[in-house]
Structure 1
Amino acid sequence: MEKKTVKDLMVPIEEYATVKIGTSLLGAILALEKAQEAYTDSKYQHRAILVMDEKNKVVGKIGQLRVLKAVETRYDLNEELDDLGKFGFSEKYLNRSREIYRLKGPILNKESLKSAAERPVEEFMQQPTPGEFVSEDCSLDIAIHRLVAGTHLSLLVTREEEIVGVLKMADVFAAVSHEMREAAME
């Protein structure tokens, strides 16, 4: 079995969807669509946008779930209802409250979509945590451990202190499943 490194599977940052701080959420979505059109090496498309500062350093990322949370303006209340469970409110009461809250109107309306589209990406981006980084020279064993332990969909790939790419779980999965098939045939 060939020993692959993170560098063998990563998507170079130049091929990834990136936007600058201050870009609108709609601008970020358009950048993601453009990157997906250009990236043809894998059947697994990009699912996140990297947010860059004025020095072209990665300061955050926005995944598909973050975009949906931007549209679901009532998400915060749902979290507050979850917190009420800590104070002894029954699950039946909490579920009923969620249902009443959900029925207050549609999420997808022109006003909420336009409002979310115009807001800057930094309101929605997730800042990378220490467990989301992996060196380009690391083995896939280490990368798999970090993906699984942190339940990440991707890792930021580093060369010394600089972020040079993204390692997507989908690409690691494809490589592992290929190796698994070969091992089973021996």
Structure 2
Amino acid sequence: MDTMEHSDSPGRPSAARSRLLGTATRLFYAEGIHSVGVDRIVAEAQVTRATLYRHFPGKEDLVLAYLADADRAVRGLVDGAVAGGSPAADTVRVISRAIAHGIRTADFRGCAFLNAVAEYPDPRHPVHQAVVEHRQWFLEAMTELLSRVRKTPAEPAARHFVMLRDGAMAAGCLHDPELVCETFLRGVDGLLQAHAQEQS
């Protein structure tokens, strides 16, 4: 147990840390954060408690690392779409299709950030704050993209996009994902058309 505790090479996280975070990510997302205890994470990651606390001083640190990984994934999705060099409206559609693809996956359980904030409602809690920071970045990124579609105030359209995305994420857990994604993508097209036609 815990045979590769130290970093495999300089600057890279240890295999034990990667197993801990990977295990926590899988369990937190599938079953909820509060319902998963440290003992289970340690057992399934096949590390010692001492190793857990060496890498993550407490469960909260592990939760924040889980959300930081999720944040990097979304940023990577948006950055990759932007780097494609397509017109802004098409870039929004690329991001939307990637969101729809996630909803269609067999292990989809909703938005990791909305799930987390439901378990940490106190605005002062670091987990709550991490969710708010991520969502503020996402709103700003979509505002920037939509401002390239038409030079009008783009934040209202960006907020509309975020609400469409949130609704699709929630509905995707409850209804036919194909129908949810079809409705979401149609809504995004309608939003883009309406935003492009707005008067300055």
The two structures have a TM-score, normalised by structure 2, of 0.27
More strand by share: 1
The two structures have a TM-score, normalised by structure 1, of 0.28
Flag the structure with more relative contact order, 1 or 2, with Cα contacts below 8 A and sequence separation at least 6.
1
More helix by share: 2
